[in-house]
Amino acid sequence: MQQQRQLGPFRVSALGLGCMNLSHAYGVPPSFDDAQRLLLRALDLGCTLFDTATLYGFGANEELVGKVLAPHRRRFTLASKCGLQGVDGKRVVDGRPATLKKTCEDSLRRLRTEVIDLYYLHRWDPKVPIEDSVGALSDLVRQGKIQTIGLSEVSAATLRRAHAVHPITALQTEYSLWSRNAEIAVLAACRELGTAFVAFSPLARGFLTGALRDVGTLPADDIRRTMPRFEPAAYAANLKLLGGMAEVAQDAGATLAQTALAWLLAQGEHVLPIPGTANIDHLVENFGTDSVKLSAAQVARLDELINQQTVVGPRYNAAAQAGVDTEEF
């Protein structure tokens, strides 16, 4: 049985599964049969938190998760997201209350469920006060269509404003050894408010696994091709950071991926990483992190090796950064 952590009213596996990779952003997605095998294997490994979104595959990921996991609905906590979706083939941020409520109805249908356990505002729409968007989600809680509310890619200040309207169960943003922005304010704000912190891209989109050596092999439509840290010169510099990390991993009797995930789990009981993968071997490896325990000295060494001072390149390009509300170093 996997280590368990609290996610609002839910007790879930400390590691969840980010389902995006199965439909979105990383080149050609796996076949339905392969995706189905992976989702069911995650259940067998003790994963009880599955994370999807309206945006992923413009509805295709919710369809997949619903078709495969609906028969097992009582075995896991289901998270999805609204406020960022595909419209006429384009990515659109829309936090208007009517849109969020319509999106929820569509998500419930695709997910083949009567209620979504954790429903995130995927992006804060700056044209709509956060209080209005969260107010709409609180209406959905009262109507029994969602159980709890989450936010994604927002600052501590925005979290506090939202929390004043309705308790925020979880805040989700990128967090890993190479993306430390959450340490500026959000991690502490979550701890103070009793909000779980859900870490997406905990393996730095493959970097921290050590498996991606040549970014030139990435598909043309892979999201990483738009990210400064994955530009060839920057990535070559960043790869040099993995040598010291590999020494820590060897000392811990773990793989690089397990070491990265164990470091995250050591950052606080309210931190829940959701690594994604389309590869069953990687899935098994990730969930093997449960047996890895890093010493305080090993955690400190990793902190020293890979951090905002040692990583080359910002997390997002300027256009992508403008679309999020997170604090920046």
Pull the structure tokens for residue 92.
């659109």
196-200 vs 49-51, strand pairing mode: unpaired
**Is 56 an active-site residue?**
yes
Is residue 272 helix, strand or coil? strand
Angle at 188 between CA 187 and CA 193, to 5 degrees: 100
Catalytic-labelled residue, pool 26, 56, 119, 235: 56
Task: Report residue 135 as tokens.
Answer: 């107010």
Q: How far apart, in whole angstroms, are the C-alpha atoms of residue 297 and residue 187?
A: 22
Measured in whole angstroms, the distance separating CA 296 from the mean position of its chain's CA atoms is 25
CA 154 to chain centre: 13
User: The tokens of 143 are what?
Assistant: 């109507």
Closest CA to 258 of 249, 266, 245, 267: 249
CB 62 within 8 A of CB 69: no
Q: How far is CA 25 from CA 55, 218, 224, 225, 226, in A?
A: 10, 11, 8, 10, 11
Residues 6+ apart with CB under 8 A from 270: 5, 6, 190, 191, 195, 196, 197
The Cα–Cα gap between 243 and 254 comes to 14
From CA 283, how far away is CA 212, in angstroms rounded? 16
Question: Which two structure tokens, joined as six digits, stand for 265?
Answer: 């789990």
Residues recognised as catalytic: 56
